[in-house]
Structure 1
């Protein structure tokens, strides 16, 4: 059961995380629940990589293990930023965490596509393209000084969320 949970839970957690992120940007979620979500993600990422270490030793799973390993300090940066920032929307640590997670999965999605064939290849290349486009749109809005709830930043996050969700749902179903 634990193995099956590790294989399928990310298919629900990834869209949940991006939906929650968008809701926070729209002001629908307060800072405290965002901090709690970060603390939960910190624990889940460490537990997931520890429990899945040997299962993720080769092939495309090794790339995803690297995403999680790099994602742990990226998520911790956001957690620290939320703890110490008076205004999380202007915290460089929170921005680093968010931008990090918009970008981190893109190379792994692309690599997964490269190592796949047929429909799986198309799905993963499409997922990587959507996530990369969303990351660039969001980052462009951030650099331009757009407020968190601006259409450009929300559109970027939505594209990231769709791209990453497509990739993880495909993986959960296909493998």
Structure 2
């Protein structure tokens, strides 16, 4: 559970620090709105991927499973500005698969917290290896970071791509290339 009162006090202090009046009509309810928003957008802090990846289905083959274009948003832990984009997940089952929605839910567990894209990519891949005991995992994230778009260098539309491979995808470059071909990256 988050501390609403502490967040509201902090937001009031920020509003005052930038030279605004927290009692102005348009800002009166802002501290409460931000506290409620933070509970939603940081809900992954209180979750683990285990609850989503523990329900599996047995399969007789170990062909690659690819789920692409899972949309996500997260908050950059450096500037507390959003970054958002698409996650592509591939894994090689080891006799069992997980429901496809569980890959999106696992993405949400890790994206709904203060985050780095590089860490997010690794956390998703590592959770697949840990909970599914799969033979390999590959996660690719393409994201736009508002900390680069609206401040600093101000390069709107630039995207950062991170790729993490585990297991068989690290050992067999042709498997990795097959996934990249499917994704057309």
Higher relative contact order (CA 8 A, sep 6+): 1
Q: Between Structure 1 and Structure 2, which shows a larger proportion of helix residues?
A: 1
User: Radius of gyration: which is bigger?
Assistant: 2
**TM-score, with normalisation over the residues of structure 2?**
0.26
Q: TM-score, with normalisation over the residues of structure 1? A: 0.27
Q: Which has the higher strand share?
A: 2
